[in-house]
Chains A and B, each alone.
Chain A
């Protein structure tokens, strides 16, 4: 059954915002959904998902074994899900050592891929990973870049292989999957139009008022305020908070001219293709 819906993005590109919107849209509560109880409940690299479907102890599997198992796990999830489960994913779209694509095409209904200007990602990712801007710029140009590797104390998440920012975008754009490309900047500047496009692409039936309400309930200030009140389980333990600025063009103010030039040099082809140059 083609029922899996993937919320895919490079980290710090609006994936959590989209999750918050979809949660508020589908839960239809009278107040904003608690950020720790958002849809999707599935995160692609959650070892609990692997444990549930393989009957193996994920903490005793190697990175390669975990990666090889993931497409099979998603196929099983598809089988047991009566509806359309959302799965958040930060991996680039690529093959495992066994030759399977990381997400199974036969069970994939749709992919929403969010792209964000890499200059704006730098500050946000540096904050999230608690590393410098220069280190982040190098990380974003590295084709072996992986997150959640060698995590300490908290081993629930399996590593996710990102590739460079450019190749991350390229991998999903060339996937041949039923994919809708959304720009983070459009989520800010044209929220009703952009979120309505997502709802229509997924084939959901919600009114304009319901969509507007979900947009209001997932406003950045609401999310940030909730994090201050209750904490957020997705926050990196080395970072003071998950929701930082959530702005468009913040990179221009935060990065030095040299750093901006470096990002442009590393990613100019894809930045041009995505309309960021």
Chain B
């Protein structure tokens, strides 16, 4: 897996130098200084001085440690280095599944950005986010929008950062969208076994078609997708306390914030975000397929308006 050669990538606007080949990331510029270095390294079983120990993860300020039995141990240091100690015989795809989700989530908090659990698209240099619980349809929505010609920025993790004027922006993430088999069939995207993210999981990679480099796109609207047991599709703009609670609920890996010592900075970021974005809650019927109607409405009422 490694030969100490360095591969250069770009993700969420960061330059990455990695000892591990990560084809799912966009190519980077090796002449630029790396913001994050990914190294292979032997790691202990525990994070020394951990202030919080959860199931498989340990934290202390500046450090995030994840241990997945039979796969790998990961140590994120000060948001600048990711050390990976893989188990002998571990499957590289499995190592990457945890790297791109939980480890990148921890990395975002350590790099002082606000990671939303969301997919996102770009339109006319603005970004539109789609958040919701597991199974709400974030990835299906962005994949469907890609079919309609929009550029997808990310499908699951959307790190929001604030520029010097306090403007909330996001950059493009990993170059793949992960979709369940039934979602792929629902929106007619072909797939094959080699695209499967893990052998036993019926979830597949499909490519994001256009690379946008490291550009930042201001966040305009966050759509909150919620499965609904009734047949109609409803849209409702959230305001005040409900808006704040809903956004806070969809921040990625909030359980890390306290132990990383980032509580105050976190609330400040959420507060900045709430002041500049609209939050629209969309209740979608679980049984009736209203995806086309839903996409048309968000285009007409929010994206193109």
Contacts and interface: CB of A to CB of B under 8 A. Distances in A.
A and B are partners in one complex rather than unrelated chains: yes
Interface stretch (A23-31, A56-64, A167-175): A56-64
Interface string A230-260: 1111010110000000000000000000000
Given A53-B54, A155-B135, A60 B227 contact: no
Interface in B241-273: 253, 255-256
A153 B187 CA distance: 12
A52 B249 CA distance: 11
Interface string A52-80: 11111111111100000100110010000
A204 interface: no
Interface string B124-166: 0000000001110100000000000000000010000000000
Contact of B183 (A51, A62, A63, A153): A153
Nearest to A76: B55
Contacts, number: 87
Contacts of A109: none
Nearest to B68: A56
A60 B205 CA distance: 12
Nearest to B284: A153
B24 to A, nearest CB: 14
Contacts of B54: 53-55, 76
Interface in A149-167: 150, 152-156
Nearest to A231: B229
Contacts of A238: 287
A153 B134 contact: no
Nearest to B66: A55
Interface in A12-50: 47-48
A62 B91 CA distance: 14
Interface stretch (B38-46, B81-89, B194-202, B212-220): B194-202
Contacts of A235: 229
B210 interface: no
Interface of B is mostly: mixed
Interface in A110-160: 150, 152-156
Interface string B166-183: 000000000000101011
A275 to B, nearest CB: 36
A153 B55 contact: no
Interface residues of B, number: 37
Nearest to A72: B55
B135 A59 contact: yes
Contact of A232 (B101, B137, B229): B229
A236 to B, nearest CB: 9
Contacts of A62: 198, 200-201
A237 B287 contact: yes
Given A60-B197, A152-B182, A47 B134 contact: yes
A52 B255 contact: yes
Name the residue in A59, A73, A235 with the highest tally of chain B Cβ atoms < 10 Å from its Cβ: A59
Contacts of A155: 134-135, 180
B102 A56 contact: yes
B207 interface: no
Contacts of B253: 55
B102 A57 contact: yes
Contacts of B287: 237-238
Interface of A: 47-48, 51-63, 69, 72-73, 76, 150, 152-156, 230-233, 235, 237-238
6 contacts: A48-B134, A53-B54, A55-B253, A56-B56, A56-B102, A154-B227
